[in-house]
Structure 1
C-alpha cells in the first residue's frame, strides 16, 4: 500500500486533470517541494485523511488555503508551505490540528490577521511566518502554547506593544524568537524576561544535536534564516542548544530590562534599530554563553559595561550610533572588534588601538570631573602608556 509520495526537486508544473484520491489511499507523507507547481492549493489534498507530513514549499502555489484542508490537519504533524504565493489561510483550518508540531509558511504573501485557530495546536514547537504581510497586533496568545520553542515573525506588519500587562503570559518554552523588522513599540518592565525558563537554565534533555521531530521513525529537521553577527544566516538544521533573541528594527523604547541578565543560556541578542534609552544593563555580563551582541542605532547613554570583556564566547559586539561615553573597556573582547562597532558615539574615547587613529577627542576637563574614580584610573593608565 502506498503511504509516502516524494516528488521533490523536479520540474513538475501541474497535476493531471483527473487527479483523484482513491478511497483506500492512506498517504501519510507527501513531498512536492522544490518544483514549479502553480495555481491554487490542490483540493485533492483535502481528501488525504491520514496525512502526517505535507511539504509544498518552493513552488508557485497561490491564493487562499481552503477550509477543506482542515480535514487533513487532524492527523497532520509537519506542514511546510514556505516560498510560495499564498495570500491567506481560512480561519478554521487549524481548529482540529491538535497534533501539529511544525508550521512553516514563510516567504509568502499572507495578509490580514494571524489565524486564531492556531491556538488549538497545543503541540506546536516550530512556527515560522517570516516575510509575509500579516497586519496584526503581537500575538500574545501564542505564549499559552506549552511547547513552542521557535517563533519567527520577522518582516511582517505586526504592530503595537510587545508587552501588555494584562495579556503577556510569558513564553516559558521559547528558545528562539525573532520579531525583527516589524512596527512593534512600547516599553518593558524590569521583570519581563524572568519567566523565559528555557533561556534561563540548561535543560539536560538538550545536547549538541539538532532540533527535529520524529514521524514514523523518520527524522524531520527544521530550518530558518536569522541575522547572526551581522550576517543573514541560513540554518538548514537548528542546534538544540541555540538560544537567540532578535527584537531589532522596531520602535521599542524605554530601558533594556535588567532581567535580561537572567537568560544565561542566550547565544545571540540583537536589540538594534529601536529607541531604547538609559544605560546598557551591567547584568549582561552574566550571559556567559553570549556570542553576539548588537545594541546599535538606539538612544543608549552611559558607559559600556566593562564586565562584557569577561565573556569569553562574545566575538561580535556593536554599540554604534548611540550616545555612549567614557573609555572603551580594556580587554581582548573589545580590542578585537571592528572600528565600525563604536562609531557615532561622540563621547567614547580610547579608540586609537581599534581604529588606528583618534576618531573622537579625549574628554574635556569639565567632562573629566564627572567621571568615577575607576574611570580616572583608566584615563591615567592610558596617559601613562602614551607618555
Structure 2
C-alpha cells in the first residue's frame, strides 16, 4: 500500500492496527490519535516511508497504548511521546522510534517513561544530554540510544542502580569516566558504550555484574591494564576492548578458586589496537571452553531472558571478519572470534591454540610474534579467517594448515617465512596478497620458483676438488684454448658453480 486506507477514518473502535512493511508515504494523520483515543493498544507503522506526523502537541493523546512502533521511516523533527501521565493502562509499554531522522526529544521526555519497558531511539540524529531523571523510569528494561549525537556525561545511575537489562549508548559523544559504584544486585546483561569518549579506567566493581553477557567499550579513551578479573563473569559471551589504551601484558590470574571458570563462556574477544605487550601465556587458550566445544551447527541469536529483550532486542557487534571491519546485527551463538591485532605482543604463538576447535576467526596481525607457525593449528577445523601478517614469524608454512578446509581468508604477509607454499585444498585458492613480504617463500601463486635452476632440463653438478686433474685432462682433449680457460676457472675454485652436464 502507498496510502493509509481511507475507510479506517470511519471505524470507531480499533485496538490493534498493523500497517507495517508497506510503501505508505506522507504524513501520519492526527485522526489516528483522536478517533481511537480510548481503544488503541497497539500501533505498528514501521518500515514505510512516512516523513511527518500531524500533531497539535508532541504529547500523543492515547490512554491504553501498549506498543508504538514507528521504526524505519523518514520521520523528522522532535520525537513525540505517548501521554501516559493520564493512562489507565497497567501494562508495560514498548516504544520503537529507531531508523528515522528525528533530531530532538522533549526536555522532559523522561517524565513519560514511567511505564515504559522498551525504548529504542537508535539511528536518528538526536543531540543533547540524557537527564538524570531517566533513572526514575523504574519499569525500563531496554534503553537503546545508539547511533545518535548525544553528549555529556552518562548518568551514573543507569549503570550503578537501575533496573536495566540492556544499556546501549553506542556511537555517540558521551564523555567522562566509567561509573564505579556498581550495585551487587545489578541486572544489566548488555553494556554497549562503543564509540564514545569515555576516559579513565575500568572499575573492579564491574565484577558485580554477575549476569553480564556483552561488554563493549571499544573505541574510547580508557587507559588501564588488561582487566583479567573480568574472567570471573561466568556469563560473559562478548568482550570488546579494542581501540583504547590498555597496556602491559595479557596477564593470567594466579590459580585460585575465583578463576576456576576463567572466561568460560567467552565467544568473542577483541583486544585489537591497544598497547598490550609481552609473551602470550599458553594458559590463555586453555580455559576458553566455549571455543573448545565441538561445532554443532546451531546459530541461535544471543538473547536475554526478559519478554522485550528476547522478542525485540538483538545485541550487535563489530569485528574484523575476512579482512573487513563488519557489523553483525545479531550475535549468533555459533560466531567465535579472537582479535589481538595491532599490539606489541611477542614470543611464540602458543601451541595451546589448537584446542579452540570451534574458533572461526583468529587475528594476531601487526604484533612481534616470533618462531614458527604452530602446525597444531591445523586441528582448528572450523577456522574461516586466519591473519598472522606483519609479525616476525619464520620457517615454513606447516603442511597441516591445508587441513583447514573452511579457511576462506589467509594473510601471512610481511613475515620471515621461507620454503615452498603448500598447494593442496584451500591453499590452491589463495592469491599473492596472502604471502607478500616473505622473501624466502617460493612456488605458486608467487612468481618466484622454488630452487635456483634456470631450466628444468638442467641438473647442476658440484665438482669435488680432488677431481680437478680429470677435468683438466678432458679440457686438453677438446683443445688448448678451452682447456686453458677451464684451468683458470678451476684455479679460481669455480668449477662446481660453472660446470654443468646437459
TM-score, scaled relative to structure 2: 0.67
1:8 counterpart residue number: 98
Contact 2:190 2:213 in 1 (8 A): yes
Contact 1:210 1:237 in 2 (8 A): yes
Contact 2:170 2:195 in 1 (8 A): yes
Q: Deviations over 1:261-307 (max 9, x none)?
A: 01101111111100001111111011011111111100111111101
Matched residues, number: 360
Query: In 2, Cα distance between the equivalents of 1:240 and 1:358?
Result: 43
1:104 counterpart residue number: 192
2:243 counterpart residue number: 155
Secondary structure, aligned partner of 1:285: helix
Query: In 2, Cα distance between the equivalents of 1:275 and 1:101?
Result: 36
Of the three residues 148, 156, 161, the one matched with 1:59 is 148
Contact 1:110 1:133 in 2 (8 A): yes
1:172 counterpart residue number: 264
Of the three residues 23, 26, 33, the one matched with 2:122 is 33
Contact 2:272 2:340 in 1 (8 A): yes
Q: What are the within-5 Å matches in structure 2 for residues 132-147 of structure 1?
A: 132-147=220-235
* Shift in alpha-carbon separation, 1:85–1:65, aligned structure 2, 3 A: same
State yes or no: 1:208 paired with 2:299.
yes
1:85 CA drift (Å): 0.4
Q: Which runs of 5+ in 2 are unaligned?
A: 1-88, 454-501
Of the three residues 304, 314, 329, the one matched with 2:397 is 304
1:319 counterpart residue number: 412
Contact 1:66 1:89 in 2 (8 A): no
State yes or no: 1:222 paired with 2:311.
no
- Looking at both structures, which has the greater relative contact order when contacts are Cα pairs under 8 Å and sequence separation is at least 6? 1
* Shift in alpha-carbon separation, 1:69–1:317, aligned structure 2, 3 A: closer
1:226 CA drift (Å): 1.0
Q: Which runs of 5+ in 1 are unaligned?
A: 364-386
1:268 counterpart residue number: 361
When structure 1 is superposed on structure 2, of 108-117 and 273-282 the one drifting more is 108-117
1:167 CA drift (Å): 8.4
* Shift in alpha-carbon separation, 1:117–1:359, aligned structure 2, 3 A: farther
* Shift in alpha-carbon separation, 1:219–1:203, aligned structure 2, 3 A: farther
Contact 1:66 1:90 in 2 (8 A): no
Which structure's CA Rg is the greater one?
2
1:25 CA drift (Å): 2.7
Query: In 1, Cα distance between the equivalents of 2:396 and 2:178?
Result: 51
1:129 CA drift (Å): 1.2
TM-score, scaled relative to structure 1: 0.86
* Shift in alpha-carbon separation, 1:265–1:8, aligned structure 2, 3 A: same
